[in-house]
Amino acid sequence: MGNWVVNHWFPALVIAAWLGINVFLFVYYFLMFDMDEKFYYTREILGSALAWARASAKCLNFNSMLILLPVCRNLLSFLRGTCSLCRRTMRKQLDHNLTFHKLLAYMLAIMTAVHTIAHLFNLERYNDSQQAADGSLSSVLSDLHQDGSDKWLNPIHSNSTVSTPAYVTFTSIPGLTGVIITVALILMITSSMEFIRRSYFEVFWYTHHLFIIYFAGLVIHGIAGLVRGQTEESLKKYSPQHCAQYLVYRDGRSTHHHCKEPEFGGIPAEVRPHVVMHPSKVLELQMHKKGFNMEVGQYIFINCPSISVLEWHPFTLTSAPEDNFFSVHIRAAGDWTENIIDAFQQQKPKIPRIEVDGPFGTASEDVFQYEVAMLIGAGIGVTPFASVLKSIWYKFQQADQSLKTKKIYFYWLCRDTGAFAWFNDLLASLEQEMEESGKADFLNYRLFLTGWNNSIAGHAVLNFDTVTDVVTGLKQKTSFGRPMWNNEFSAVATAHPKSVVGVFLCGPEALAKSLQKCCHQYSMLDPRKVKFYFNKENF
């Protein structure tokens, strides 16, 4: 027994932790989908099969994330090298990689069986509820919003013989990808049997490459969101605990006359944004999402199903963590952005729904870790710094003493400042706030107009003595052309000879190379003198 403990305590600990995480995920999400008020009406149709399907799905995602790691040979070699000084007991656990890979595969097989069986029950219950005409709550729910809107609960929209569970399975994205994923997994597992692996290795080898199809299908499996819950907005107004009976007794016998028909949406986070239109066709979406927490400079992915079900586009958050909402600014720069701007401008027949994924981290999160920061935005690359500067505005208002940053240099290069009039307003507010708080020298910003004509330049020269800039309306005068980066870095190094300076860019690769070169050139070897650290946005 003692020898077993010496040789196997670590793998036993790893397996126990892995099993513990699986149990936690399954129980947590089972209880959530079995008890959450958001899925009250969904459970009226699906019963406990909803919780079984969703809990097993979470475990499937977790184990799918892990299953490739034990068979990444380069990763294992790297770990062996980095653990060269580790104890032998720790290093030799890497030899059990295939055993762990098999355990993950067994767990995937079990959870796939649970998930598939649960969804077969779900489809059958969807169909039974749609076919029923008994006035029960489940049948009433199945008939709601079957007029072409996107608020439905039952994905089987008709009681005809065409709209059957089999039809939905093979004509919907979740159904079709589910079949493909399951078949690929079955082929990979069966071809891994020792007899086939030893006698027909080529079969095992080539069949195992179906993992590409498996993961591709897994990524898009849940896009359509056939299993739905009540939307947050509808839930706040019409609680199912009080309004369920209204749906059954809508002939005046209900005591809850204030109740209306609930609205449903996909399980991915759907939000109804508040819309602000800015000059030069720039759309600002201000959104609320339960549990949403952000840091400065982060970004999100946005999908608008009414425009494209499959397209997700990244946008930098322009709000600050201190705001009671989160926002993005969208400028027309292609078909999708033009379509979404038109959709929100026209609002026909109503404001479109959007789905949000994120937020995700970027280099800009570290701005406040430096005592001096140089922020460089080129064109639309100004957006992450809107979040940073807004947060600074809040910190000054709240007299936040924990702010480590003592000086910010902000450079904005753009072809047309009119496209970013919303950003001019932010800079104007910052100017006023910093003057009133006695910190006018905290922010040094320079605006560079890289695209102009002679009339604009001439007009600016003639009005150079005015208090505000004729191009932007700000007190800081606009420069024409591009910055001389050597001069800028030299000036910052002279002003802050003993500081650590963070250089942050959101812009093109050519500009990144120039700035990185300057960071190296003006950083001193002496650790007591100025250092420039380059950070670039990538998403």
Domain parsing of the chain, residue ranges: 2-172+224-240, 270-363
- Using 50, 70 and 90 to split pLDDT, how confident is the model at 419? low
Identify the pLDDT of residue 254. 44
Count of CB atoms situated within 10 Å of the CB of 239: 16
SS3 state at 283: strand
14 in Cβ contact with 107 (< 8 Å): no
Burial (CB count within 10 angstroms: exposed 0-12, middle 13-18, buried 19+), residue 196: middle
Note the maximum CA span of the chain: 91
Identify the pLDDT of residue 89. 54
Identify the pLDDT of residue 24. 93
Q: What CA–CA distance (Å, rounded) separates 426 from 82?
A: 48
β-bridge mates for residue 229, sequence order: 265
| Mean pLDDT along residues 51-56 | 91
Q: What CA–CA distance (Å, rounded) separates 358 from 530?
A: 36
- Using 50, 70 and 90 to split pLDDT, how confident is the model at 455? low
Identify the pLDDT of residue 469. 59
Q: What CA–CA distance (Å, rounded) separates 198 from 218?
A: 30
Q: What CA–CA distance (Å, rounded) separates 211 from 207?
A: 8
- Using 50, 70 and 90 to split pLDDT, how confident is the model at 55? very high
**Residue 110, pLDDT above cutoff 90:** yes
Identify the pLDDT of residue 90. 57
What are the CA-CA distances from residue 327 to residues 78, 120, 284, 294 (Å)?
41, 40, 7, 11
Q: In CATH, which of 2.60.40.10, 2.40.30.10, 3.30.70.20, 2.30.30.40 is domain 270-363?
A: 2.40.30.10
Higher pLDDT, 428 or 80: 428
User: What's the token pair of residue 409?
Assistant: 């240099």
- Look at residues 304, 330, 305 and name the one whose alpha carbon lies nearest to residue 316: 330
Q: What CA–CA distance (Å, rounded) separates 153 from 227?
A: 8
What are the CA-CA distances from residue 294 to residues 290, 298, 322 (Å)?
12, 7, 9
The one-letter amino acid at 31? L
Q: What CA–CA distance (Å, rounded) separates 385 from 389?
A: 6
Identify the pLDDT of residue 82. 64
Q: What CA–CA distance (Å, rounded) separates 67 from 111?
A: 14
User: What's the token pair of residue 412?
Assistant: 């904005």
**Residue 360, pLDDT above cutoff 70:** yes
**Residue 125, pLDDT above cutoff 80:** yes
- Look at residues 326, 356, 352 and name the one whose alpha carbon lies nearest to residue 339: 352
Higher pLDDT, 136 or 56: 56
**Residue 257, pLDDT above cutoff 80:** no
Q: Which residues, at least 6 apart from 135, have a Cβ–Cβ distance to it below 8 Å? A: 248
Q: Which of 14-28, 79-93, 229-243, 298-312 has the lowest mean pLDDT?
A: 79-93
User: What long-range pairs does 510-517 form, CB within 8 A, spacing at least 24?
Assistant: 511/376, 511/378, 511/413, 512/536, 514/485, 515/376, 515/485
What is the model's pTM?
Answer: 0.55
- Look at residues 234, 351, 241 and name the one whose alpha carbon lies nearest to residue 286: 351
- Look at residues 166, 164, 173 and name the one whose alpha carbon lies nearest to residue 130: 164
